[in-house]
A and B are shown apart, each in its own frame.
Chain A
Amino acid sequence: MFMIDLGAESFYTVLGVSPTATAAEIRQARDTLVRELRERQRREPTRRAELEARQKTVNTAGEELARPAKRAQYDRDNAHLRFFTVRDAAAGIFADRADRVEVLYEAISAHLRARGVAVRPRSDLDREEFFADMTPNSVLDGPIG
Chain B
Amino acid sequence: MSMVRARDALLDALAALRDQEPTPQVRLAIAEAEFRLAVDPDVDRDEAIARLRAAIVQDPFLPKLNLHLGRLLHKAGKHRAALAEYRQALRMAPGSRRLHLLLALALLELGKEERDIGQSLLTALNSGEPDKLPAAVAAFDELVRRQGTDGKPDAKPAREAKTRAANRSAPDVWQVSLVEQLARAKPQRGQITAHLKAGETRARDGSAVAEFAVACVMLLVAGDSPRDVRKLGPTGIDHPAVALLEAALELAEAETPEDFVKLAVARLDSEALPVELVCWLHYSRYGPGSGLPPVDMVRLLDAYPDLDCVRELRLSVLDGLARAAWADERLAEAQLLWRECAALDAHRVPTAVNLALLAARTKSVDDYGPAWARLTELMYLHAAGTGELALLLDDRRTLHLALSQQSRSRHCAPSSSPYPSDAELAAWVADVETVEVWLREWDLYYLNERLSFRAPTHLLGVRPNATAEELDAAREAFVKSVDSTLRGQDWSGVAVFRDLVVKRVNEAHAAVSDPVEQARDVYHDLEKPRAARLADEALRRGLLLRNMIRELADKKSGRHLALGAEMARRQLTLPWTVLTPICVERGLISEDDDLVEIFERDLISLAVHWDEPEASTRAEWDQRAAALAECVALVPGRLEFAVLWCRTLVAAERPDEGYAAAIAALEQQAADADEEARSLRPVLVGVVDEIAQTAVPEHLRSPSTPDAARRTIAAARSALERYPRSGALRRGMADVLLQLGGEAHAQEAIELLSDAIDLALDDEDRVKSETKLAATRGAAAEAAVRAKIEKLTEPATARVNEAIDELRRDYGPKALAAARLALRAAITAVAEAMAMAERAQFADDVARLGRQLEQLRTAESELPQDEE
Contact = CB atoms under 8 A, between A and B. Distances in A.
B316 A95 contact: yes
A7 B501 CA distance: 36
A142 B185 CA distance: 54
B176 A117 contact: no
B440 to A, nearest CB: 11
Contacts of B455: none
A100 to B, nearest CB: 6
Contacts of B273: 111
Nearest to B276: A107
B335 to A, nearest CB: 12
Contacts of B217: 104, 108
Contacts of A117: 210, 239-241
A131 B2 CA distance: 12
Contact of B25 (A3, A89, A139, A144): A139
Interface residues of B, number: 94
A55 B60 CA distance: 63
A104 B277 contact: yes
Nearest to B36: A134
Contacts of A18: none
Interface string B318-356: 011001001000000000001001000000111101100
A49 interface: no
A136 B176 CA distance: 31
A101 B241 contact: no
Interface stretch (B139-147, B403-411, B652-660, B738-746): B403-411
A43 interface: no
Contacts of B350: 87-89
Contacts of A125: 71, 74-75, 102, 105
B39 to A, nearest CB: 4
B714 interface: no
A42 B238 CA distance: 71
Nearest to A120: B211
A2 B437 contact: yes
A86 B221 contact: no
Given A107-B274, A125-B74, A139-B26, A89 B210 contact: no
A122 B361 CA distance: 47
A103 interface: yes
B3 to A, nearest CB: 5
Contacts of A102: 179, 183
Nearest to B98: A124
B214 A108 contact: yes
B407 A139 contact: no
A21 interface: no
Contacts of B813: none
Contact of A133 (B39, B102, B348, B434): B39
Interface stretch (B27-35, B460-468, B782-790): B27-35
B274 A108 contact: yes
A78 interface: yes
Contact of B354 (A89, A91, A112, A144): A89
A9 interface: no
Contacts of A133: 35, 39, 64, 68
Interface of B: 1-5, 10, 13, 17, 25-26, 28-29, 32-33, 35-36, 39, 41, 64, 67-68, 71, 74-75, 98, 101-102, 105, 175-176, 179, 182-185, 208, 210-211, 214, 217-218, 221-222, 239-241, 244, 273-277, 279-280, 283, 287, 309, 312-313, 315-316, 319-320, 323, 326, 338, 341, 348-351, 353-354, 357, 360-361, 363, 365, 368-369, 395, 398-399, 401-403, 405-407, 410, 414, 433-434, 437
